[in-house]
Structure formats: C-alpha cells, structure tokens
Amino acid sequence: MFDSGASFETLPTTGSEFFERQSSPAVTAVRQRTLKSAISCTGTGLHSGARITMTLRPAEPDTGIFFRRIDIAGGGALIPAHWASVSDTRLNTCVTDAAGIKVHTIEHLMAALAGMSIDNAVIDINGPEVPVMDGSAAPFVFLVECAGVVEQAAPRRAIKVLKRVVVEEGDKLAMLMPAPCFSVNVEIDFANPLIGRQDCWLTMTGQSFKSEISRARTFGFEHEVAALRAAGLAKGGSLDNAVVIASDGNRIVNDEGLRYEDEFVRHKLLDAVGDLYLAGAPLLAHFRGVRTGHGLNNRLLATLFADRSAWTTVTLDSRQARIPAVFPPSRRLPAAAIA
Ligand SMILES: [Zn+2]
C-alpha cells in the first residue's frame, strides 16, 4: 500500500555511517536555548476567528514550552506544550489543562520553536487559539529572530528513539525509527491535479527548516469552506492565511500562487515537525508520515512513550548538529502515480 519507492528497508542509514567516515573534531556540549527578550504579535485565530495577542517570553532552563492563557481569571492557566495535553486534533492540534482550558492551533508555532531550537519559553496568549498569521511558521521564526536567542547553562537533552514505532489508520501511517539526528519524510496523495502525490525530506537544522519549510502555508479547498464554517472551523480563514484551491480543482485562488511548487507537502512536513515537538524535547529519530495528520502524529508519540524500551533521554553534543542534509531533495511525483 505504501509504495512510494522509499521503503523502510531502503531508507538511508546515513547518520552513523557518515560519522564513521568523518574526521572527528572535538565534541562539544549543546546548550538549551531560550529567547533573549519577550516579543509579541497580534493576529486572527484560523478556526475561532478571534483577534488574539500572543507574547513569547524567555524561560528558565528545563522549563520546556508552556502556554499561559492570561485571559483566565486567577493568574492565568498554564498548559504544557506536551503530547499528553493534546485534546483535539481536528484540523489543528489543541492542548488543554486539567480544568479544560484550551489553546488551539499550536502546531505552526511549535514547528518554528523546533526549527529555531528553542527549549524553554512561556507563551502568553489572551484567547483560545494561536494567531494564524500567514498560515505558515515563517512569522514565528521571524519573531524569534527579532527577540534573539540565548544559550543557557544547562545541556540540551533529546529523546533518542531506540526501536521502530509505527501507527496506522486505514491508508495513513506515521513511524519513528532510530537515527542519529532528526529527519522527516512526509508523503501526501490527493486526487487533485494541483497536488497529486508529493514527497518531501528534511534533515533538521535551523537553516534547513527556515529556508525549505517554514514559509509553506496551510491549504484548503474552496468547496469545503462552507462545511468547515458550519462545523465552527476556519472562521478566520482567508486568502491572507491559507492557500485555497478553486472548486474546479485546477486553480489556486490566491493571486500570488504558491511559495514552493510543492508547498502542500512541505506544509504537512511543517505540521509534523510541530506536532512531534510535543514530545517535550527534540527527537533523535527519523520520522516517516504517509497521509499523516495531527491525530496520527499524536498517537505516534503516545505509542512511543507507552513503551519504555522504545526510547531514552540523551544529552546532545555537537555531533548531531554536524550532520548535513544528505537526504534527497523534495520532489513532486506525477498525478498519474495516484493509486
Ligand atoms: Zn498546518
């Protein structure tokens, strides 16, 4: 069923082999990172349509990422950006605290924090949803760059995947397998001539995420908008924050067209990077997703952490940061390849 040509067995095992072939410069510790200063933005919630102000704030080492709903009485509600806090994965990833206080649509912000290697931050927000901005992670990358980043005294830790973990749902699949750095491969398959079947690889470095993935916007079909709004979703959606495919299926409605030829699969990869950062630390693993989405990505983390023999915590050093982007560039497959 998953006949992409990149079978599990033929996936590059490049990391460890690469190390062995290289000269070995001094290994140095990687430190945790946070923002140098607080920074704010205001925008619209994609699904709620609410006008929301969000402030990214520095946090102490070993804090992790937290949302703080400052509009909730009594000092605000703290909600960890953690896979176990996820309560809704219907067209977004939503986290909830024990009292049921929610923050929706966190995935693009989480992807930016993962891409910028931010370990510790408190995100103040005065409403139920992260602003969608332009529908990509680029505005959040820009915010982090404007605030600046500082290294902290504590070493950076990662979750090292020790064995293959797979979840499937019909023709959808999400998988983690051992790897010496974090790399991501996502494949999508739409019966639409503008999308078709697309496949994208990324080995995670700050620069690769920013240049190859961060600008990819969320997307939707024109004919689905009314149904989404009737279901209480996409109330804030517009051509300013999503790529919209015309009802005839053959045209991008946005005047400016696409930012990347395969923007659709790059956005799905962006979503996966954000969802997987809810592990609570960067992963040392290769992720493969086939037609995956927020729900399956969350189930994958739940399955990983349910098996104590499938992962361990390690301290990162400069070797993980030196692995180059050796995986094939993303490619667009012909629509005729649709099964
Ligand atoms: Zn998305």
Calculate how far, in angstroms, residue 130's C-alpha sits from the geometric centre of ligand 1: 12
Query: Is pLDDT above 60 for 2?
Result: no
Q: Are 339 and 191 in contact (CB under 8 A)?
A: no
- 8 A C-beta contact, residue 197 and residue 30: no
Provide the domain limits for residue 277.
12-337
Q: What is the pLDDT of residues 96-154, one digit of tens each?
A: 999 999 999 999 999 999 999 999 999 999 999 999 999 999 999 999 999 999 999 99
The answer to whether position 5 is within a domain reads: no
Specify if 42 maps to a domain. Answer: yes
In angstroms, rounded to a whole number, what is the distance separating the alpha carbons of residues 75 and 177?
Answer: 41
Residue 4 in domain: no
Where residue 165 sits, what CATH number does that domain have? 3.30.1700.10
Ligand 1 centre to CA of 275 (Å) is 10
* Domain-embedded: residue 127: yes
Residue 6 located in a structural domain: no
Overall number of domains in the chain: 1
> Ligand 1: distance of its center to the CA of 264 in Å?
10
Distance 90 CA to ligand 1 centre (A): 11
Which tens digits make up the pLDDT trace of 163-197?
Answer: 999 999 999 999 999 998 899 999 999 989 899 99
* 181, part of any domain: yes
| DSSP labels, 232-279 | T--TT--TTTSEEE-TTSS-B-STT--SSTTHHHHHHHHHHHHHHGGG
For residues 96 and 102, what is the distance between their CA atoms, to the nearest angstrom? 4
- Residue 286 annotated as catalytic: no
Name the active-site residue from 47, 267, 286, 294: 294
- Residue 262 domain-assigned (yes or no): yes
The answer to whether residue 309 is domain-embedded is yes
> Could you tell me the distance, in angstroms and rounded to a whole number, from the CA of residue 155 to the centre of ligand 1?
30
